[in-house]
Amino acid sequence: MRLEAVVLREVTLPLRKPFESGVMRAGRRRFILVETRAGGVSGWGECVALETPYYTDETVETAWHILHDFLAPAVLRGEARPTALPDAFRRVKGHPMAKAALEAALWDLEARLQGRPLAEVWGACREAVPVGVSVGFHPDLDGLFREVEGFLAQGYRRVKVKVEPGRDVAVVKALRERYGEIPLMVDANGAYTLADLPLLKELDTFGLMMIEEPLAGGDLEAYAALQAELATPICLDESLPDARTVRRAARLGAGRVVNLKPGRVGGPAEALEIEAACREAGLGLWIGGMLESGVGRALNLILAALPGVTLPGDTSASDRYYASDLVTEPARLLPDGTVPVPRGPGIGVDVDREYLAAVTAREAWLRPEDARV
C-alpha cells in the first residue's frame, strides 16, 4: 500500500468532569489524531500521550515532533504495511505512543480497504465486553461516593480508585463500609516503595481485585518481593513497555495481572503479542485506558474482545468522559455493564469530520513528495 498522505491533527475535547490522579490533572483531553489516506479511504489512530511527562516520558509535543519529523516521513517513503511498521520504526528509539498511533491508523486503513473489521482480522471472540470505570481523586469522600454510586447504578462491572500516600487505606475502608463487596481495585501509578510495605499490607486486607502499579520505576525484582508478601494480585501498568517484559514479569512472579494499553507498548502488533504471552503465562489481562476519544476507544474495545482478556477493563463508555465524541457512534454502556465491540470495517467507527474540524487547533498534511530523505 502506498500512502497519499498522513494528516496530523492536534485535538482538544473538554472532559465532562476534571480527572485527577498522581500523574495528571486535567479538565480537557488534548491529543494527536493521526489520519492515513490511500485510495480515497482514511484510517485513524489516536496518540494517547498526555500533555505532561508524568505517566510515561512522552507528551503531546514530543509525539507531534516524532510523528511529524520521523515516523510519518518513514511510512510515506516506503511500503506502508502495518505489520512492517515495528521494523520500519526500530531506528527511532523509544516514543511508543507516537509509533502506536501511526501503526493503528495503518491497521485501520488496510482493514477498511479490504472491507474487514479489525475484530475479525485479530481474532476477537466477543460481541460486547464487560467494562469497569477508573475514578480519579476527590477532595472529599462525599464527592467520591456520589461518583461511585452513579457508575454502579449505570452497571459498571468494577470500580478502580486512584490511591497515593495519605489517600489510600481510609478511602478503601470507607468504600468497603458503604458498598460492601463490590468489585473494587486501586491504582497507585507508582506512588509507593518497598518501604511502604506495612501500608500495602493493610490495603491487602480489603479483598481488592488487584493493586495496580504500586511501585515506582519498573523494578520487577521489587515487584516480585512485594507480590510474595501480598495475597492481593498485583497488576502492572507503567512497568510493562513490551511483550518481553511481560514474559520476564511472569517468570519473576512480579505480578499476576497485566493492564495492556496499545499506546504504552508501541502499537497493536506488540499488544497482540502481549495478549498471547498472557495466555501462555496464565496472567490475568485487561485493556486499560488513557481517556481516549471514540477513535482510541474503538481500538481498545476490539483488543478487549480477544480471547486472552480475562477481566473488565478501563474501556468505559464515551459519556463517562465526553459530552460530544469525535465519532458518529460513541461507545455506549449496556445495562449489563458491557460495551458493544465495533463491527464495521477497520476500527468500526467513523469520525465526525465537522466536529473534528471544530476541535482541531493544529493540522499538518504530509505527502510523499515532502518525505524524501
- Which positions are annotated as active-site residues? 162, 261
Residue 301 binds ligand OSB (CB under 6 A): no
| x-or-dash string of contact with ligand OSB, 171-200, rule CB under 6 A | ----------------x-x-----------
Distance CA 299, CA 294 (A): 9
Site for ligand OSB in 242-271 (CB under 6 A): none
Residue 290 binds ligand OSB (CB under 6 A): yes
Buried b (16+ CB within 10 A) or exposed e, 31-46: bbbbbbbbeeebbbbb
Using CB under 6 A as the binding criterion, the count of chain residues that bind ligand OSB stands at 13
Helix (H) or strand (E) holding 103: helix 96-113
Q: In 59-193, which ranges are E strands?
A: 128-130, 133-135, 159-162, 184-187
Residue 10 binds Mg ion (CB under 5 A): no
User: How many distinct helices (H) and strands (E) make up the chain?
Assistant: 13, 13
Q: Closest separation between CB of residue 120 and Mg ion, Å?
A: 29
| Residue in this structure with the C-alpha cell 462525599, named with its chain if needed | 142
| Residue in this structure with the C-alpha cell 510519518, named with its chain if needed | 72
| x-or-dash string of contact with ligand OSB, 149-168, rule CB under 6 A | --------------------
Which one of Mg ion, ligand OSB, none interacts with residue 105, CB within 5 to 8 A by kind? none
Out of 58, 237, 275, 292, the only residue in the binding site for Mg ion (CB under 5 A) is 237
Site for ligand OSB in 65-124 (CB under 6 A): none
Which one of Mg ion, ligand OSB, none interacts with residue 209, CB within 5 to 8 A by kind? none
Output the nine-digit C-alpha cell for 249. Answer: 514479569
Partners of residue 156 on adjacent β-strands: none
Within its chain, how far is the Cα of 213 from the centroid?
14
In Å, how far are 43, 132, 181, 189, 231 from 209, measured between CA atoms? 37, 12, 10, 16, 10
| Residue in this structure with the C-alpha cell 476507544, named with its chain if needed | 297
Nearer to ligand OSB, 88 or 156 (CB): 156
Nearer to ligand OSB, 42 or 300 (CB): 300
Site for ligand OSB in 223-242 (CB under 6 A): 237
Nearer to Mg ion, 67 or 290 (CB): 290
| x-or-dash string of contact with ligand OSB, 33-72, rule CB under 6 A | ----------------------x-----------------
Residue 314 binds Mg ion (CB under 5 A): no
Residue in 93, 95, 112 with CA at minimum distance from that of residue 36: 112
Q: Which residues bind ligand OSB (CB under 6 A)?
A: 23-24, 55, 134, 187, 189, 237, 288-291, 314, 316
